[in-house]
């Protein structure tokens, strides 16, 4: 299954929630704030400068009475309209008042009242949007009509009318400005709030009994964080400018209280005889507005909490670094003649020694999730990657497309495809591979389909993009693709939206979408897991037919040996991040050599014949170890009924005596000779019997006394 990090479900907000890898999962709101503050704000020099400027302005303004040399109303008639001097650093105005003192004295008021506009405008707009999105169509219609009326009102006239009625009460004027602006903010936020309300995790939260308020606060608001802060920064800047404009035309704070707009107005009277007077206040106002905009810009680039699976720019940079490192290693290997393999035959996928790891904050020293995986997929064949959950199948599959999740990247090895090493291919070059050469279908068909557009639009747009066809030609191709994937009434389905079709139909459409670019390789990540058994069989037979008809090859990720038996020519059994056995499907299913394969088969009801079905199916005690807990020796040893002390040493992948496959077990041959079965009995985890180590180059059967645990267990 492709990992996604959705906002925490209703019951998962406890502090201790972790990823499968054991890493703590931040709550969406906190995650958003972390990203906003750490990666974006501090990563943008403009935003950092803006923050420093605003912070300095606020501190200087609040502490002004303590350090300013002059009071705002002090007049120095010996220095009227002067430029900067030792006594008056920024000069004086027409009454000899110190401009520096007046700028800082006015700053707190200007910033504070602009914040009133932000709080009222953004707060009201956000609350209305969340209410409209969550409370149903009638409420949304009512709120939308009211905001439309608000937007049609002449704001300037209303503000002037308020000033006429109540005088220059700046906080009140700015609050009313906020109310007027909230209508626009409502419109900006509503669409996003509605989309968040329609997420599957919101449905899950509703099922869990979370009320509308809880859903809005816990699931919707965190997803709106980006938009809200960007709007806040913009409104802050606009509020400051409007306030300065009002003061300029005489509706500022009462005289002699200074205001930036009032000071600019005063300076405009002396623009010819004392032009300097305009500079300090104008520059401070401009710098403050620029600072707010720079901060808004930086925050606007932050990834949304609702889509944390999308790689941020930092993730992309990190990936680019990882790709460059692999490319450099490959070049070194070529120079020293250690490259190992050529680029493989055309249409053959050759994965060599692939490792995938967590980036660990860009240091490249994080835990490894997949190590030393190698396999080949010939044209027109299907390779199954099989294993329990957490064995690294998805990480391996996604690395073929360069689509590893944020914070994870390929750390070594080669993915050889049509003459290039995809592991060392930059993301922008991978774009021409994805869809056109290698396509993906995932477990959840709805992931591939956008609920906002009809099936026809999505298919046509994809075909046009990937194959450069005209509209009507693409439409005809979409129709034929739907027929190809077994949809009888293709014309009708083209007109439907994804939510109007069943899961099986959606998976067929997803397959058609994947075929749009006529890929040579299809990566299918558990494509039938979410479907019921009959539909599963249909999709498998569709894939089989496509492989036969088009000569396309498939990498099929599955935990179902039935699927492997049904469709795969080759199989690679993965356990704890590496391949423990691979080879031809028939050879492996008939003659498994690795105890893990043996155990998977023993635990699979379909692999046991009805007449010889045991009373109790076999189990594999324990769990797949977390990547950070992988032992140096055999990673399966702690759960293995046949483990011995030789299994404490690292085990290489060696040719299996059965067929042309490879197996990673020091006792593989001994098990084959003795014909051991995996028992239904649970084995205490970590039990190891003494077994003499065998040479890794030529595995020999273990001595008699090192026998199999089974004997003890019986
Ligand atoms: N984004 C991630 N960051 C860190 N570790 C991850 C991430 N995604 C997966 N892992 C870890 O990588 C390992 C391999 O995961 P992977 O999803 O490839 O397993 P899988 O065999 O495909 O399992 P499943 O069938 O459940 O998808 C697991 O230990 C998993 O916890």
Is the model's pLDDT at 624 over the cut of 80? yes
> Which pLDDT does position 679 carry in this prediction?
65
> Which pLDDT does position 658 carry in this prediction?
65
Q: How confident is the model at residue 9 (pLDDT cuts 50, 70, 90)?
A: very low
Higher pLDDT, 290 or 609: 290
Contact between residue 696 and residue 651 where contact means Cβ atoms under 8 Å apart: yes
Higher pLDDT, 548 or 614: 548
DSSP string, 434-454: BTTTEEEE-SSGGGTS-TTS-
Q: How confident is the model at residue 317 (pLDDT cuts 50, 70, 90)?
A: low
User: Would strands 521-525 and 438-441 be described as parallel, antiparallel, or unpaired?
Assistant: parallel
Q: Which of 59-63, 203-207, 236-240, 427-431 has the largest mean confidence?
A: 236-240
Q: Residue 289 domain-assigned?
A: yes
> Which pLDDT does position 431 carry in this prediction?
83
Is the model's pLDDT at 219 over the cut of 60? yes
| Any atom of ligand 1 within 6 Å of the Cβ of 395 | yes
Percentage of the chain modeled with pLDDT above 70? 79
Question: Which range is least confidently modeled, 153-157, 186-190, 312-316?
Answer: 312-316
Question: Which range is least confidently modeled, 13-22, 303-312, 462-471?
Answer: 13-22
> Which pLDDT does position 613 carry in this prediction?
60
Q: How confident is the model at residue 686 (pLDDT cuts 50, 70, 90)?
A: very low
| Ligand 1 centroid from CA 388, angstroms | 11
Is the model's pLDDT at 381 over the cut of 80? yes
- CA dihedral (350, 356, 362, 364) positive or negative: negative
> Which pLDDT does position 702 carry in this prediction?
36
| Any atom of ligand 1 within 6 Å of the Cβ of 258 | no
> Which pLDDT does position 19 carry in this prediction?
33
- pLDDT tens-digit series, residues 70-79: 888 888 888 8
Q: Residue 251 domain-assigned?
A: yes
Q: Residue 671 domain-assigned?
A: yes
Q: What is the mean pLDDT of the chain?
A: 81
Q: Which of 300, 327, 346 is the last residue of a domain?
A: 300
Q: Residue 340 domain-assigned?
A: no
CATH number of the domain at 126, please: 1.10.3720.10
> Which pLDDT does position 67 carry in this prediction?
83
Determine which residue's CA is closest to atom 26 belonging to ligand 1. 389
- pLDDT tens-digit series, residues 470-509: 999 999 999 999 998 889 899 999 999 888 888 888 888 9
DSSP string, 342-389: -S-STT-EEEEEEEEEE-TTTTS-S-EEEEEEEEEE-TT-EEEEE-ST
- pLDDT tens-digit series, residues 344-365: 567 789 999 999 998 765 555 6
DSSP assignment, residue 271?
T
| Any atom of ligand 1 within 6 Å of the Cβ of 373 | no
> Which pLDDT does position 606 carry in this prediction?
67
| Any atom of ligand 1 within 6 Å of the Cβ of 18 | no
Is the model's pLDDT at 576 over the cut of 60? yes
**Helix (H) / strand (E) containing 247:** helix 221-248
> Which pLDDT does position 18 carry in this prediction?
32
Nearest one of 375, 364, 366, 360 to 326, comparing CA atoms:
364
The predicted complex's ipTM stands at 0.92
Domain total for the chain?
A: 2
Nearest one of 613, 648, 645, 619 to 709, comparing CA atoms:
645
> Which pLDDT does position 370 carry in this prediction?
95
| Ligand 1 centroid from CA 407, angstroms | 12
Q: Residue 282 domain-assigned?
A: yes
Q: Residue 139 domain-assigned?
A: yes
| Ligand 1 centroid from CA 626, angstroms | 9
Give the domain range for residue 625: 591-714
> Which pLDDT does position 322 carry in this prediction?
74
Residues whose CB falls within 8 Å of the CB of residue 104, separated by 6 or more in sequence, listed in order: 57, 60, 61, 64, 68
> Which pLDDT does position 5 carry in this prediction?
30
Percentage of the chain modeled with pLDDT above 90? 38
| Any atom of ligand 1 within 6 Å of the Cβ of 308 | no
| Ligand 1 centroid from CA 7, angstroms | 18
> Which pLDDT does position 407 carry in this prediction?
79
Stretch 270-292: mean pLDDT, rounded?
A: 93
Counted residue by residue, the chain has a size of: 714
- pLDDT tens-digit series, residues 407-439: 788 888 999 998 889 998 888 888 888 888 999
Is the model's pLDDT at 305 over the cut of 80? no
Report which ligand 1 atom has the smallest distance to the Cα of 385: 21
Higher pLDDT, 247 or 302: 247
| Ligand 1 centroid from CA 402, angstroms | 15
Stretch 172-178: mean pLDDT, rounded?
A: 95
Is the model's pLDDT at 287 over the cut of 90? yes
Q: Which of 300, 315, 336 is the last residue of a domain?
A: 300
Stretch 448-452: mean pLDDT, rounded?
A: 74
Higher pLDDT, 199 or 265: 265
Determine which residue's CA is closest to atom 17 belonging to ligand 1. 394
Stretch 541-545: mean pLDDT, rounded?
A: 89
Determine which residue's CA is closest to atom 6 belonging to ligand 1. 21
User: Would strands 521-525 and 578-584 be described as parallel, antiparallel, or unpaired?
Assistant: unpaired
Q: Residue 135 domain-assigned?
A: yes
Nearest one of 625, 631, 623, 699 to 665, comparing CA atoms:
699
Q: How confident is the model at residue 296 (pLDDT cuts 50, 70, 90)?
A: confident
- pLDDT tens-digit series, residues 75-116: 888 888 988 998 898 999 989 999 999 999 899 889 999 999
> Which pLDDT does position 455 carry in this prediction?
92
Q: Which of 300, 317, 343 is the last residue of a domain?
A: 300
| Any atom of ligand 1 within 6 Å of the Cβ of 394 | yes
User: Would strands 368-377 and 349-358 be described as parallel, antiparallel, or unpaired?
Assistant: antiparallel
Q: Is residue 274 left, alpha or beta, with left meaning phi > 0 and alpha meaning psi from -120 to 50?
A: beta
Is the model's pLDDT at 609 over the cut of 70? no
Determine which residue's CA is closest to atom 28 belonging to ligand 1. 390
Tell me the C-alpha distance between 465 and 122, whole Å. 39
CA atoms within 13 A on the CB side of 175: 6
Determine which residue's CA is closest to atom 12 belonging to ligand 1. 369
Stretch 615-635: mean pLDDT, rounded?
A: 84
| Any atom of ligand 1 within 6 Å of the Cβ of 20 | yes
Question: Which range is least confidently modeled, 169-183, 258-272, 324-338?
Answer: 324-338
Determine which residue's CA is closest to atom 1 belonging to ligand 1. 405
Q: Residue 499 domain-assigned?
A: no
Higher pLDDT, 549 or 683: 549
């Amino acid at each position: 299954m492709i990992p996604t990090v959705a906002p925490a479900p209703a019951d998962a907000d406890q502090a201790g929630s972790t990823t499968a890898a054991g890493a703590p999962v931040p709550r969406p709101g906190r995650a958003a704030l972390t990203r906003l503050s750490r990666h974006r704000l501090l990563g943008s020099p403009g935003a950092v400068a803006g923050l420093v400027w605003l912070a300095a302005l606020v501190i200087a303004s609040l502490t002004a009475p303590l350090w300013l040399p002059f009071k705002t109303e002090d007049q120095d008639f010996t220095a009227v309209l002067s430029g900067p001097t030792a006594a008056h650093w920024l000069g004086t105005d027409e009454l000899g008042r110190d401009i520096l003192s007046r700028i800082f004295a006015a700053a707190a008021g200007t910033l504070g009242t602009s914040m009133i506009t932000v709080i009222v405008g953004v707060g009201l707009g956000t609350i209305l949007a969340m209410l409209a999105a969550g409370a149903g169509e009638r409420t949304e219609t009512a709120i939308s009509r009211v905001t439309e009326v608000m937007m049609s009102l002449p704001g300037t006239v209303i503000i002037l009318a308020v000033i006429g009625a109540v005088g220059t009460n700046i906080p009140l004027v700015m609050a009313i400005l906020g109310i007027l602006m909230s209508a626009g903010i409502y419109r900006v936020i509503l669409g996003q709030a509605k989309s968040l309300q329609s997420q599957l995790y919101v449905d899950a939260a509703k099922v869990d009994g979370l009320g509308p308020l809880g859903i809005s606060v816990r699931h919707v608001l965190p997803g709106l964080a980006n938009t809200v802060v960007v709007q806040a920064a913009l409104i802050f800047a606009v509020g400051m400018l409007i306030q300065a404009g009002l003061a300029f035309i005489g509706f500022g704070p009462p005289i002699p209280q200074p205001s930036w707009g009032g000071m600019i107005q005063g300076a405009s009277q002396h623009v010819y005889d004392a032009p300097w007077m305009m500079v300090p206040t104008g520059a401070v106002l401009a710098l403050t507005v620029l600072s707010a905009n720079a901060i808004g810009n930086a925050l606007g680039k932050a990834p949304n909490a609702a889509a944390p699976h999308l790689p941020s720019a930092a993730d992309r940079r990190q990936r680019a670094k990882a790709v460059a490192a692999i490319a450099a290693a490959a070049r070194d290997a070529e120079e020293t003649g250690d490259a190992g393999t050529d680029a493989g035959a055309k249409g053959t996928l050759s994965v060599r020694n692939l490792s995938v790891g967590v980036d660990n904050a860009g240091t490249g020293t994080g835990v490894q999730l997949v190590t030393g995986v190698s396999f080949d997929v010939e044209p027109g064949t299907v390779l199954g990657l099989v294993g329990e959950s957490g064995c690294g199948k998805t990480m391996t599959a996604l690395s073929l497309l360069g689509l590893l999740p944020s914070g994870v990247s390929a750390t070594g090895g080669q993915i050889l495809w049509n003459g290039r090493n995809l592991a060392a291919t930059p993301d922008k070059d991978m774009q021409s591979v994805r869809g056109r050469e290698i396509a993906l279908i995932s477990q959840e068909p709805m992931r591939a389909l956008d609920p906002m557009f009809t099936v026809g639009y999505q298919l046509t747009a994809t075909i046009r993009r990937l194959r450069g066809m005209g509209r009507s030609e693409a439409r005809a191709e979409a129709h034929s693709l739907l027929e190809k994937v077994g949809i009888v009434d293709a014309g009708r389905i083209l007109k439907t939206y994804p939510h109007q079709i069943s899961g099986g139909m959606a998976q067929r459409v997803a397959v058609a979408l994947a075929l749009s670019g006529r890929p040579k390789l299809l990566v299918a990540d558990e494509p039938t897991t979410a479907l019921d058994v009959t539909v599963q069989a249909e999709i498998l037979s569709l894939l089989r037919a496509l492989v036969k008809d088009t000569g396309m090859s498939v990498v099929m990720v599955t935990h179902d040996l039935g699927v492997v038996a049904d469709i795969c020519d080759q199989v690679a059994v993965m356990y704890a991040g590496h391949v423990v056995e691979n080879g031809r499907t028939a050879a492996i299913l008939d003659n498994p050599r690795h105890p893990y394969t043996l155990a998977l088969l023993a635990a699979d009801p379909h692999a046991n014949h009805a007449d010889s079905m045991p009373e109790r199916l076999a189990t594999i005690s324990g769990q797949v170890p977390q990547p950070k807990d992988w032992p140096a020796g055999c990673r399966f040893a702690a759960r293995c009924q046949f483990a011995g002390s030789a299994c404490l040493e690292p085990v290489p992948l060696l040719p299996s005596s059965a067929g042309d496959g490879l197996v990673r077990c020091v006792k593989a041959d001994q098990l084959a000779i003795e014909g051991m079965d995996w028992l239904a009995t649970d084995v205490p985890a970590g039990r190891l019997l003494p077994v003499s180590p065998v040479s890794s180059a030529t595995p020999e059967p273990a001595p008699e006394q090192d026998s199999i645990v089974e004997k003890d267990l019986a």
